C-alpha cells in the first residue's frame, strides 16, 4: 500500500505559517520566488541531485559546463552553444579525443580563476576515486550522464583534452552535464563536501548561492561579475522553494508566497487563468514512461510479447484528457512526428484485443493474470502528476487487459537512486518497473539509456535491455560525420526501441507552469532547462 502522504491542506497551512519568512523583500530589490516539485532543495556542491529539476535551478544558473544549452528559442529543440569553452573539436588524428579551448577571463564567484587546472580538478572529483576531492554522490550522477568519458588531460592553461571510450559524434551532448565548482570552496570547507554545500559553494554562473536552508529554500543572488556581459540576470535574487504537492504549489501561488510554480495540478489551470495568472506550456523533449525491469530474475518482462502487450493495453488519449490536455500520447521514445521516429512495425494505440492476445501467448490469461509492482514517486522533476496518473493506469490496465498493478511510493531522489541499481537490488523492493520521466533531447541520451554497454549501475539502462540491431545502429551513427548517415542510423535505432520496447511509453509532457503576472520575459524553450537570466519581476 502507498505510504500516507501529507495532505494539501496541511502543506498549505505550513506555507501560510511560514509566510513572514518567505515574504517578498521590502527593499527595492527584485526577487523571483519559485515553487519546485522536489521534496527538498537540491544539493548545492555543484552537481545537484533531484534530477533535471536540480540541474534546471541549482545546476546551470550557478555552476556551468564547458558546453551549455542554447535556451533562447522556442521554435526548435535546444542546441549546444559555447560555455566555459569558447570552442571545441575532435582531434584530427583521433576521433575519440575532443579538444576544448577554455574561455579567458572567467572567475568563480569567490574570485579565483577558472582554468585548465580547475577543469582537471573537477574531473578528478567525478572520475578519480583516489583523489582527495572525490565526491561519491556527484560522481554517481556524472558518470551515469557521461558514461563514455574515458580520460582527460591538460594541454596548457587554456586547453584540455577529453577522451571517450570510443568514437562518438554526439560526445559534446554528454560534456554538457559536467559542471564546475571552485576548488577553493573545497579547501575553505576543510575538504568536506557536506560543508561545501553550506558555505555556499562557488561556481561561474550568472547567479551565486547566498543561503541554504534544507527542506525550506535556497537563496540566489545575481552575479554582477558574470563573464557573459550581454546576458546578465535581470532579477536581483531568486528564492527556490521545495513544494512537492501540486495543490499546495497552487495555494502558495494564489497566496502570493511564490511567483512561479512548476507542474500545477491540471484541474486547477482554468481557475488560475481566470484569476489572472499566466499558464505556459510547450513541447519539449520529454517522455513519461515506466522503465521495465527486464534483468531481474524471473521477470515476466523478459518476454518481448509482454512488453509489447502493455503498450497496446493503455489508454493514452484518455490519460491526456484526464490531464486537461497538458500532455500528448507517447508511442515511442521520440514523438511520432519526429523525423527520426522511423517506421517501426508496431504503432501502439489502445488495442485491448491485441494486448490480451500477446499476453495469452506469453502465458498470462484471466485465470493467471499478469501482476506488476511499480515504484513511483510522490513528485519530482518531469514527473508531472505521478500519483493520480499512475492510479489512472492501474485502473486502465485492470479493465483493458486484466493486469494487476500495485505501487511502492517513494520520494523522487529515492526513485532516481533506484534507477541506477542492479535489477535484483534490495533497494528496488521487488519492483518490476520504475516510473521515471526521461529526456529525449539527443542521441547521447539515447545511448546512455539504451546501449547495452550502459546497463545500470554504470549508466541509465535500468532495464538491462540489449538489442544487437540497436547497438549496431548506435555504433554506426557514433562513427558517422555525415548528417544523413547519422539520421538514417538514428531512425533505425529508434525503430528497435519501439518494436523491442524496453519501456512502457505513456505520454509526452507539455511542460505546464503557472506564474504571477508580475513575471515577465519568460521563454519556454524546447528543453528541460530554462534561462533565468531573461526573466524579470515587476
Of residues 325, 320, 318, 316, the one with CA closest to residue 270: 325
Burial code (b: 16+ CB inside 10 Å, e: under 16) for 239-250 equals bbbbbbbbbbbb
Q: Tens digit of pLDDT for each residue in 478-489?
A: 999 899 999 999
Checking if the pLDDT of 242 tops 80, the result is yes
Q: Is 514 helix (H, G, I), strand (E, B) or coil?
A: strand
Helices (H), 136-190: 136-145, 172-175, 183-188
Beta bridge partners of 290: 504
Q: Tens digit of pLDDT for each residue in 40-86?
A: 999 999 999 999 999 999 999 999 999 999 999 899 999 999 999 99
Query: In Å, what is the CA distance from 533 to each residue of 32, 34, 146, 232, 323?
Result: 11, 14, 27, 6, 30
Burial class (CB in 10 A: 0-12, 13-18, 19+), 28: exposed
Q: Tens digit of pLDDT for each residue in 248-285?
A: 999 999 999 999 999 999 999 999 999 999 999 999 99
Give the pLDDT of residue 8: 41
Strands 31-36 and 260-262: parallel
Of residues 210, 120, 200, 191, the one with CA closest to residue 157: 120
Give the pLDDT of residue 400: 98
Average pLDDT taken over every residue of the chain: 93
Categorize the per-residue pLDDT at 456 as very low, low, confident or very high, splitting at 50, 70 and 90.
confident
Categorize the per-residue pLDDT at 22 as very low, low, confident or very high, splitting at 50, 70 and 90.
very low
Categorize the per-residue pLDDT at 28 as very low, low, confident or very high, splitting at 50, 70 and 90.
confident
Checking if the pLDDT of 18 tops 60, the result is no
Checking if the pLDDT of 6 tops 60, the result is no
Contact between 322 and 533 under an 8 Å Cβ cutoff? The reply is no
Task: Please give the distance of CA 92 from its chain centroid, rounded to a whole number.
Answer: 33
Q: What is the mean pLDDT of residues 328-332?
A: 98
Q: Tens digit of pLDDT for each residue in 400-451?
A: 999 999 999 999 999 999 998 999 999 999 999 999 999 999 999 999 999 9
Checking if the pLDDT of 14 tops 90, the result is no
In percent, the amount of the chain with pLDDT more than 90 equals 91
Contact between 334 and 441 under an 8 Å Cβ cutoff? The reply is no
- State the pTM of this model: 0.89
Checking if the pLDDT of 3 tops 50, the result is no
The DSSP secondary-structure symbol of 337 reads T
Query: In Å, what is the CA distance from 169 to each residue of 76, 90, 461, 498?
Result: 21, 9, 20, 23
Q: What is the mean pLDDT of residues 361-383?
A: 96
Question: Cell 519556454, residue?
Answer: 524
Q: What is the mean pLDDT of residues 493-514?
A: 97
The DSSP secondary-structure symbol of 529 reads -
Q: Is 129 helix (H, G, I), strand (E, B) or coil?
A: coil
Measured CA angle at 335 (ends 330, 341), to 5 deg? 120
Categorize the per-residue pLDDT at 27 as very low, low, confident or very high, splitting at 50, 70 and 90.
low
Q: What is the rounded CA–CA span in Å between residue 308 and residue 365?
A: 16
Q: What domains appear along the chain, each with residue ranges and CATH number?
A: 1-62+205-280+515-538 (3.40.190.10), 286-509 (3.10.105.10)
Of residues 417, 303, 309, the one with CA closest to residue 353: 309
Give the pLDDT of residue 2: 35
Q: Tens digit of pLDDT for each residue in 168-178?
A: 999 999 999 99
Categorize the per-residue pLDDT at 24 as very low, low, confident or very high, splitting at 50, 70 and 90.
very low
Q: What is the rounded CA–CA span in Å between residue 360 and residue 370?
A: 10
Amino acid at each position: 500500500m502507498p505510504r500516507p502522504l501529507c495532505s494539501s491542506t496541511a502543506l498549505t497551512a505550513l506555507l501560510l505559517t511560514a509566510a513572514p519568512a518567505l515574504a517578498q523583500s521590502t527593499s527595492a530589490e527584485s526577487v523571483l520566488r519559485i515553487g519546485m516539485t522536489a521534496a527538498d532543495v537540491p544539493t548545492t556542491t555543484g552537481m545537484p541531485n533531484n534530477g533535471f529539476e536540480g540541474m534546471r535551478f541549482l545546476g546551470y544558473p550557478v555552476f556551468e559546463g564547458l558546453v551549455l544549452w542554447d535556451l533562447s528559442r522556442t521554435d526548435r529543440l535546444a542546441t549546444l552553444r559555447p560555455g566555459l569553452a569558447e570552442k571545441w573539436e575532435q582531434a584530427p588524428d583521433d576521433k575519440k579525443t575532443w579538444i576544448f579551448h577554455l574561455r579567458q577571463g572567467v572567475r568563480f564567484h569567490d574570485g579565483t580563476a577558472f582554468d585548465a587546472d580547475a577543469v582537471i580538478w573537477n574531473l578528478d572529483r567525478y572520475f578519480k576515486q583516489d583523489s582527495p576531492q572525490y565526491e561519491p554522490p556527484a560522481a554517481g550522477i556524472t558518470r551515469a550522464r557521461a558514461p563514455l568519458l574515458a580520460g582527460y588531460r591538460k594541454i596548457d592553461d587554456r586547453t584540455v583534452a577529453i577522451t571517450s571510450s570510443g568514437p562518438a559524434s554526439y560526445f559534446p551532448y554528454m560534456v554538457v552535464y559536467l559542471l564546475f565548482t571552485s576548488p577553493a570552496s573545497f579547501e575553505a570547507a576543510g575538504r568536506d563536501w557536506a560543508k561545501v554545500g553550506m558555505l555556499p559553494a562557488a561556481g561561474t554562473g550568472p547567479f551565486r548561492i547566498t543561503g541554504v536552508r534544507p527542506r525550506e529554500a535556497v537563496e540566489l543572488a545575481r552575479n554582477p561579475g558574470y563573464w557573459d556581459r550581454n546576458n546578465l540576470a535581470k532579477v536581483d535574487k531568486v528564492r527556490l522553494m521545495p513544494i512537492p504537492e501540486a495543490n499546495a504549489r497552487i495555494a502558495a501561488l494564489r497566496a502570493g508566497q511564490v511567483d512561479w510554480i512548476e507542474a500545477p495540478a491540471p484541474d486547477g489551470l482554468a481557475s488560475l487563468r481566470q484569476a489572472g495568472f499566466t499558464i505556459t506550456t510547450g513541447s519539449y523533449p520529454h517522455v513519461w514512461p515506466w522503465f521495465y525491469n527486464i534483468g531481474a530474475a524471473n521477470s515476466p518482462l523478459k518476454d518481448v510479447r509482454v512488453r509489447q502487450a502493455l503498450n497496446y493495453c493503455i489508454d493514452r488519449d484518455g490519460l491526456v484528457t484526464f490531464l486537461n490536455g497538458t500532455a500528448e500520447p507517447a508511442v515511442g521514445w521520440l514523438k511520432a512526428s519526429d523525423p527520426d521516429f522511423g517506421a517501426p512495425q508496431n504503432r501502439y494505440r489502445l488495442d485491448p484485443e491485441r494486448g490480451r492476445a500477446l499476453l495469452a501467448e506469453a502465458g498470462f490469461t484471466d485465470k493467471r493474470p499478469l501482476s506488476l509492482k511499480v515504484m513511483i514517486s510522490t513528485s519530482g522533476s518531469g514527473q508531472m502528476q505521478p500519483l493520480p496518473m499512475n492510479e489512472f493506469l492501474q485502473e486502465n490496465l485492470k479493465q483493458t487487459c486484466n493486469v494487476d498493478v500495485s505501487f511502492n511510493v517513494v520520494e523522487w531522489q529515492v526513485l532516481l537512486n533506484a534507477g541506477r541499481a542492479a535489477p535484483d537490488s534490495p533497494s528496488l523492493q521487488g519492483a518490476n518497473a520504475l516510473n521515471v520521466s526521461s529526456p529525449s533531447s539527443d542521441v547521447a541520451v539515447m545511448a546512455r539509456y539504451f546501449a547495452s554497454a550502459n546497463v545500470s549501475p554504470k549508466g541509465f539502462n535500468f532495464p538491462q535491455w540489449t538489442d544487437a540491431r540497436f547497438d549496431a545502429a548506435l555504433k554506426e551513427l557514433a562513427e558517422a560525420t555525415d548528417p544523413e548517415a547519422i539520421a538514417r542510423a538514428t531512425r533505425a535505432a529508434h525503430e528497435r526501441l519501439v518494436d523491442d520496447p524496453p519501456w512502457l511509453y505513456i505520454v509526452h509532457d507539455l511542460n505546464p507552469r503557472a506564474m504571477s503576472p508580475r513575471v515577465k520575459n519568460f521563454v519556454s524553450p524546447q528543453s528541460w532547462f530554462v534561462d533565468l537570466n531573461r526573466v524579470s519581476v515587476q
